[in-house]
């Protein structure tokens, strides 16, 4: 595959974006991580975590719609299980400047599927069609409406769902080709993805284990998809998508331990700004990945993860950064 293919842009409705983009990961791809990803990738689409339409319409949490301009182009992902609240939530999302809207029809979590949202929508195509038409009616041509699906809920019906979604007006289909019971670990269904790609005209984006460039290449060979989402690989590694993009152009890109620690500390401070007091404990989720290449990583992991206060975490992080001569002025 030539380098040009990988640097070509794809068109989703009125958006023209690179083939690589960040996947939405609830509790992970929040505003602080997205801001850090932007240090490495300027144009790639980023996505919010999934939020239910009623949560957005009723302003359940002010920070749901908060982001920094640098995160653009930024997509908003909804979950929904009924028509109520769609109008109010869509207006808020568009008013707040999000550049694309996505309906989550892939979440496997029972707390989500239990109410008929997430991947359960794939088992209820009539409802899914109604929801998509309602989203489209309200959105019009202001931003692209898209959907993220799985291989299916219990049954592998992604082709039928993709066709129905396209007919209901979506501009792009993102697929994580595993069924709901398969969660996030079993074999990826490349054959089904290929069938989805062949069944629709809109761009199809693949999500699943794209954690290095050769996986993207292999995925393309097996499926012919138009784009690739980077998911868990970004967890505590905001430079990962850049590495894949550079490798796609035949260039090397890696981040040394000093830079990784610099970014760990930046992340800690961004979490403090974004989440307030709970920021440091939320940061703990991303920390092990940031420090995996330090000497005595297991010891440091334990030291940092058992900190009880933000101040304690800051002191320990500074100590680790000092050992690796991280430039404190960089902050």
* Residue of minimal Cβ distance to ligand FMN: 231
- Report, in Å, the least distance between residue 234 CB and ligand FMN: 8
For ligand FMN, the binding residue among 210, 237, 287, 326 (CB under 6 A) is 210
- Report, in Å, the least distance between residue 29 CB and ligand FMN: 8
Q: Is residue 182 near ligand FMN by the rule CB under 6 A?
A: no
**Distance between CA atoms of residues 310 and 108, nearest Å:** 33
Indicate the angle between helix axes 257-275 and 31-40, nearest 10 degrees: 140
Closest to 48 (Cα-Cα) out of 2, 101, 94, 108: 101
- Report, in Å, the least distance between residue 322 CB and ligand FMN: 32
- Report, in Å, the least distance between residue 233 CB and ligand FMN: 6
Beta bridge partners of 146: 102
Q: Decide whether 215 or 316 has the Cβ nearer to ligand FMN.
A: 215
Site for ligand FMN in 240-279 (CB under 6 A): none
Pair 166, 173: CB distance under 8 Å: yes
**Distance between CA atoms of residues 200 and 164, nearest Å:** 10
Length of the chain: 331
Q: Is 296 left (phi over 0), alpha (psi -120 to 50) or beta?
A: left
Q: Which residues contact 262 (CB under 8 A, 6 or more apart)?
A: 321, 326, 327, 330
**Count residues contacting ligand FMN (CB under 6 A)?**
23
The piece of 100-108, 271-279, 285-293, 316-324 that touches ligand FMN (CB under 6 A) is: 100-108
For ligand FMN, the binding residue among 12, 17, 21, 23 (CB under 6 A) is 23
For ligand FMN, the binding residue among 146, 193, 207, 223 (CB under 6 A) is 207
The piece of 86-94, 196-204, 224-232, 298-306 that touches ligand FMN (CB under 6 A) is: 224-232
**Distance between CA atoms of residues 182 and 229, nearest Å:** 19
Beta bridge partners of 79: 52
Binding mask 27-66 vs ligand FMN (x if CB under 6 A, - otherwise)?
xx--------------------xx----------------
Q: Decide whether 18 or 24 has the Cβ nearer to ligand FMN.
A: 24
Q: Decide whether 64 or 104 has the Cβ nearer to ligand FMN.
A: 104
Q: Decide whether 5 or 184 has the Cβ nearer to ligand FMN.
A: 184
Closest to 153 (Cα-Cα) out of 193, 110, 196, 195: 110
Q: Decide whether 92 or 232 has the Cβ nearer to ligand FMN.
A: 232
Q: Is residue 177 near ligand FMN by the rule CB under 6 A?
A: no
**Residue 163 main-chain phi, psi, to 5 deg:** -65, -45
Question: Which two tokens mark 91?
Answer: 């207006």
Residue 154 CB coordination number (10 Å): 12
Residues that bind ligand FMN (CB under 6 A): 23-28, 49-50, 77, 104, 106-107, 148, 176, 184, 207-210, 230-233
């Amino acid at each position: 595959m030539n380098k040009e293919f990988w640097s070509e842009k794809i068109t989703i409705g009125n958006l023209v974006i690179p083939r690589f983009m960040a996947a939405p990961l609830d509790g992970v791809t929040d505003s602080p991580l997205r801001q850090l990803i932007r240090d490495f990738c300027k144009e790639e689409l980023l996505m919010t975590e999934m939020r239910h339409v009623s949560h957005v319409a009723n302003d359940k949490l002010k920070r749901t719609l908060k982001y920094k301009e640098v995160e653009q182009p930024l997509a908003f992902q909804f979950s929904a299980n009924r028509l109520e609240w769609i109008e109010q939530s869509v207006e808020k999302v568009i008013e707040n400047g999000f550049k694309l809207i996505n309906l989550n029809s892939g979440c496997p979590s029972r707390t989500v599927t239990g109410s008929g949202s997430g991947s359960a929508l794939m088992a209820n195509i009539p409802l899914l069609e109604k929801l998509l038409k309602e989203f489209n009616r309200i959105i019009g041509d202001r931003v692209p409406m898209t959907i993220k699906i799985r291989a299916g809920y219990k049954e592998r019906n992604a082709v039928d769902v993709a066709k129905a979604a396209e007919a209901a007006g979506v501009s792009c289909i993102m697929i994580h080709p595993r069924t709901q019971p398969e969660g996030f670990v079993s074999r990826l269904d490349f054959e089904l993805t290929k069938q989805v790609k062949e069944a629709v005209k809109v761009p199809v984006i693949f999500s699943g284990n794209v954690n290095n460039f050769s996986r993207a290449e292999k995925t393309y060979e097996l499926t012919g998809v138009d784009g690739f989402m980077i998911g868990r690989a970004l967890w505590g590694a905001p430079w990962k998508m850049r590495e894949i993009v550079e490798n796609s152009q035949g260039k090397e890109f890696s981040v040394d331990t000093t830079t990784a620690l610099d970014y760990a500390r930046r992340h800690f401070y961004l979490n403090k700004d974004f989440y307030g007091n709970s920021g440091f404990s939320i940061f703990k989720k991303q920390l092990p990945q940031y420090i995996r290449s330090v000497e005595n990583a297991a010891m440091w992991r334990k030291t940092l993860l058992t900190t009880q206060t933000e101040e304690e975490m800051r002191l320990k992080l500074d100590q680790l950064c000092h050992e690796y001569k991280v430039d404190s002025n960089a902050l």
